[in-house]
Chain A
Amino acid sequence: MKMFKKLFERDEVHSADVARERLKLMLSQDRLQRQQPDFLPRLQKELVDVIRRYTQSSQDDIQISCHALPQRSQIEVNVSWPRNT
């Protein structure tokens, strides 16, 4: 069935749907990025540097995320490191 469809439909027939889906994805990324403060990348880097001065965290052990609350912005920092038992 699918092959038939492919054979008989020209590519552009549903190009509007493709456009819509691509846009939705693009805009959700754009919008997320817009909400983040400009200093976030620098802050992230400095936080990672400071944390790793004290812990044996790898890059992946440090997660920094930014959230927009109704009245405030919030960053969440999650750090873990291997325990020397």
Chain B
Amino acid sequence: MAKVVVITSGKGGVGKTTSCASIGTALAMQGFRTVLIDFDVGLRNLDLVMGCERRVVYDLINVLSGEAKLSQALIKDKRLDGLYMLPASQTRDKDALTLEGVEEIINELKEDFDYILCDSPAGIERGALLAMYFAEEAVIVTNPEVSSVRDSDRIIGLLDSKTRMAEQGQAVPSRLLITRYNPERVEQSEMMSVKDIEEILAIPLVGVVPESEAVLKASNQGIPVVHDQESDAGQAYSDMTARFLGEERDMRFAEIEKKGFFSRMFGGRR
């Protein structure tokens, strides 16, 4: 039976979609059958990051309104077996997005998959609430920035009250993923540290992804950054996913990498 995981944040543009694509990809690399659902109806982004935008025929709303079967809307990843995504629609109205409809889709997917990752839209409104409602686990994506941390705290509050698990008196296990982290600026006391954010939000840390040029490059190409194992961000997402699955890994990229003389001189790539 699948586990439903929501990738959420409150604040927009912090790296939910980037994270969802890379975590999903990393899970599939480990052999887990994984499906990603884009809940960002109206914007539709996940298919671009996954690089499958040209193969979108039907979307979540088509399935919800009965115009297409779930199996017709699922897009198989071209690089990995066992990785699928269900795209959001770009234009259609969001009214078809109902709790009952989403529940039906999730139940059907549960038969077939190990992990169902829900890429939440920004905000704390309907779309975000729907994305989290059936979650059995949550990854809270946070940037080291006041507004992002505050919104994450709100989202944690919603996970504690507005989810099915909460209604059944249980807490949705939630873990913190800090992205766009810049250890140099933390060293300069210009940016809050991992420890600061962890303390304030009081949920366990599952990973730290540094601010990285590799992320833009990957999204330009439509290849989730975790495929780029040369890059810091790619490695950070591998580590994060391993931790998510219960492995222990050193928290790389949370500290400044002490560069040796040569790499300092010649700017060697990590």
Contacts and interface: CB of A to CB of B under 8 A. Distances in A.
A31 interface: yes
Q: How large is the interface on B (under 10, 10 to 19, 20 to 34, 35 or more residues)?
A: 10 to 19
Given A13-B188, A13-B190, A27-B200, A19 B146 contact: yes
Contact of B150 (A12, A16, A30): A30
Nearest to A34: B157
B190 A12 contact: yes
| Contact-size category for A | 10 to 19
B150 A24 contact: no
A35 B150 CA distance: 16
Interface string B179-212: 0000000101111110010001000000000000
> Main SS of chain A's interface residues?
helix
Q: 9 smallest A-B Cβ distances: which pairs?
A: A16-B189, A34-B157, A16-B192, A19-B146, A14-B189, A20-B196, A27-B153, A19-B192, A16-B191
Interface of B: 145-146, 149-150, 153-154, 157, 161, 186, 188-193, 196, 200
12 contacts: A12-B190, A15-B190, A16-B189, A16-B192, A16-B193, A23-B149, A23-B200, A26-B150, A27-B200, A31-B153, A31-B157, A34-B161
